[in-house]
Structure 1
């Protein structure tokens, strides 16, 4: 009986990820989400204090933000990460890094939010030659750390992510801070890049989208790329259209000499035009890479860590998937209560939290980190062969 209870308690729940084609699902339309939001406030009196108002499970996606974060790297139908190192010329490698960076952009569901990760929560997944570990290393402010390695092509990726949301009246502007670094060890090249901003707009039509300028720079090759994620015009927003256009360039850092123009739409296709020859090539096709995405499966349950997102939030996710909102609410409250109790115990004993997989440093207002292991080990959660066969 005890073994059955242990097996049930350790059962990870890995819900279907949000793919490009799922935007058409009526469950995720902005109007349907808004109805959910309004229904939650129908019994709230005017002037009530909402300081302690907790986001109910009806507005949660059945996955942790750590899972969403990791999916950007390990969940792609083609091995675009490995392609960054397979190219012979530096300019071709930078184009591949641009392509991979674009592939990390995923559709967003307005008004629906993943779970806020608890301190020490982890997510560990492998897809082909790609191994990814994500950990919540700081709780206030919430800082997430990601380390990914490509076994075959000797690629190392380190991300640090934390948010600064600002209310702008008709929209919320979320600045995503933290470094993103890719190292192509076979070529001794380092690519440094920043992160786009997230805009959650209420008027004239509700939507969430990526915007801002992404810079990718490689000091060793003197090459650089700028990618502008364009915001929709007022007319496009009023019509409810998704623009999602990209404009950018690849150039020499020292001279500013432009080599390629980048243009297209990240949810459709992105092209690169050779400035010298006029030749145009498709460098990214969204349909080929971020449609039909499937969640990981459990390859070895005994090796799944207790801190794994899919275990910590399993009861909540099962409640949401079955639309058993009371069960989901109780399970969510239990997870949050355990986190508060852990914090209380650490404060009482004077114990400082130490992440398991990263060394974390605060430099002024910024956070920096480095992984404790040079490579990420194979994970007990894997993408199936059919999904990751091209890795």
Structure 2
């Protein structure tokens, strides 16, 4: 189903290094309101059903943020993963790409929770990216991306599990990312760091935890440890530090060491030669990012994030909080209406672009129905 010609989608700039600084400055006055918001929420509470007022929302959906981490980048780190001559060179490039998906956080604001069946479809050069919200409770998002020139495929299924711990919120990102380098017959499985939103003692937003990357065929693996600040007065260390290594699964021998900051520079040291080189430069990769634009409105789906949330985002951008609240209510009521209709008719909802399964331990897996993602009506300059 395509959109009504009168409904105008709202596309906003992706989060980047310079936009984070401006947004954080504007969001600091929300601290007291955030504290009041969580007064009625107990430690350990499930926050996946918490509906934030529009004053706390970025003018975009989580689906758009997930997609941006793949298609909004200066350069082609994803395509470079196929260019290495050896498995060690390729997993090193995969590490750099994985770090590039770590994007700036803004304390005090959050994207919209995607509605069931919401989609996001964007192209950048030969890279086509398609996302779909395949479950609402719990929230599960699926991503499929293909690049015909680099011969790369990305399948991504994840579900954030946010919990209030008394001093803030920590969201563990369950699920996996699988990167297939089709020209080399290699498949890489990747996890993601946890998101930490601290309220006390010092407010802030950080990535934390260990990212695991493994190549199923070569036996090479990588570990990246994202560090959070010390709990003592929120001081000590850097909230963007990343340390890690590349090693072989069987011997456990460290081959390369990784050190730096995900929002700055990260170096890699080859332990065999002692050579240290630049692995990743955030300023070159995730600063001054281009805003997507609509190229083919006639094929834009009504489920596209920029369409679903258009009225809400337009109101948020002009700081019309009453209008944003009413527009958000309409989206939520429409979702409840459709759910009630399905229940009355005994109809089970099924994703349009993915097949999904859930394991006994609660992990979700998503499988694209199509082998390739078609070009999108929304594009980003490459």
For this structure pair, what is the TM-score category when the shorter chain's length is used for normalisation?
over 0.9
- How many Å separate the matches in 2 of 1:222 and 1:53? 41
Structure (1 or 2) with the greater helix fraction: 1
> What is the aligned partner in structure 2 of residue 7 from structure 1?
5
- TM-superposition CA deviations, 1:97-151 (whole Å, max 9, x none): 0000000000111120111111000000001121100000011101100001111
Question: Do the aligned partners of 2:28 and 2:107 also contact (CA within 8 Å) in 1?
Answer: no
For residues 141 and 328 of structure 2, what CA distance do their matches in structure 1 show?
20
Equivalents in 1 of 2:250, 2:24: separation in Å? 50
Alignment correspondent of 2:379: 382
Aligned-partner SS, 1:161: strand
Deviation at 1:238?
A: 3.8
1:135 to 115, 129, 132: 132
- C-alpha separation between the residues in 1 aligned to 2:6 and 2:233? 49
Q: Deviations over 1:203-256 (max 9, x none)?
A: 2211111111111111211211111111212458248x8531111101111111
Aligned partner of 2:334 among 335, 338, 342: 338
Find the aligned partners of 1:78 and 1:232 in 2 and give their Cα distance. 30
Greater alpha carbon shift after TM alignment, 32-41 vs 318-327: 32-41
Alignment map for 1:297-376 (pairs within 5 Å): 297-364=293-360, 365-376=362-373
**Closer, same or farther: CA 373–218 of 1 in aligned 2, 3 Å:** same
Question: Which of 93, 99, 104 lines up with 1:102 in the alignment?
Answer: 99
1:93–1:53 Cα change, 3 Å? closer
Contact 1:23 1:29 in 2 (8 A): no
Distance in 1 separating the partners of 2:372 and 2:312: 32
Structure 2 runs not aligned, ≥5 long:
41-46
Secondary structure, aligned partner of 2:20: helix
What TM-score comes out, normalization by structure 1 length? 0.91
DSSP 3-state at the match of 2:314: helix
> SS in structure 2 opposite 1:217?
strand
User: How large is the Cα RMSD of the aligned pairs?
Assistant: 2.1
Q: Distance in 2 between matches of 1:374 and 1:54?
A: 36
Aligned residues of 1:28 and 1:109 also touching (Cα < 8 A) = no
Q: 1:39 to 1:233 in 2, by over 3 A?
A: closer
Match of 1:118 in 2: 115
The residue number in structure 2 matching 1:47 is none
